[in-house]
Amino acid sequence: MKTFGLLALAATVLAAFFGTTSAPAAKFTAGKAGVKYTETTLVSYVFTVTGGESECNEVTATGTTEGTEYTNQKTVPSFSACTSFGFGSTVTNSGCTYNASAGGSLTIEGASCTMTMQVNNPFAKCKSIMKAQGPLGTLSYSNGSGDIVGKANVTGVIDEVTESSGLCPLTVGKHTNGSYVGESTGQAEGTTISWDA
């Protein structure tokens, strides 16, 4: 019994020792919880789906800091100054929330989430809809002067093209190979925010 007790003690000590060497999870660190968080575009966001590209020069995403140390930041995106396949377009967010992980993945959430891209032009009519999905990767981060710079290089996005006519290059139906790239800066109002690997 004495030998068994010593072995159990040794196993406990070893487990405690090796347990302390595991790497901590990536996280966001904010000076205050519950303050306004805003992401603004540094490099235009480009969504590519079979047949062409849609580009938005102004993407703003807003939310609140989820704590002083936390692993996921939720924001609601809005899109403006957009073109699709060489034509002016409108991208509308209805009920979608971005859930960005400090570990590098993006989930699009919302029970009735739809993000619609639409071109209404005498020469081209295009309409596609993106719904809740994820997790999608990859997001990467670096720290600025009290803010975060985030880069998106997201692949495997599912998009449903519902209308295509005239010079619209899209094929009606489901596309599963969409990609999304761009770069933004994220700031917490009145305080600092950083990313820790």
Strands across the sheet containing 69-70 = 69-70, 27-30, 193-196
* Six token digits for residue 104: 């590098």
* Six token digits for residue 57: 């020069």
Residue 183 reports pLDDT greater than 80: yes
Cβ atoms within 10 A of the Cβ of 186, count? 23
* Six token digits for residue 149: 């710079």
Question: Which pTM does this prediction carry?
Answer: 0.85
Amino acid identity for residue 129 in this structure: I
How confident is the model over 7-27, as pLDDT tens digits? 343 444 434 444 444 556 999
* Number of residues assigned to the chain: 197
Mark out the alpha helices in the chain (DSSP H runs).
Answer: 2-19
* Six token digits for residue 34: 């519950």
Amino acid identity for residue 193 in this structure: I
- What are the Cα distances from residue 85, in Å, to 42, 49, 155, 163, 169? 22, 11, 19, 14, 7
- Which run of H or of E encompasses 72? strand 72-84
How confident is the model over 112-150, as pLDDT tens digits? 999 999 999 999 999 999 999 999 989 999 999 999 999
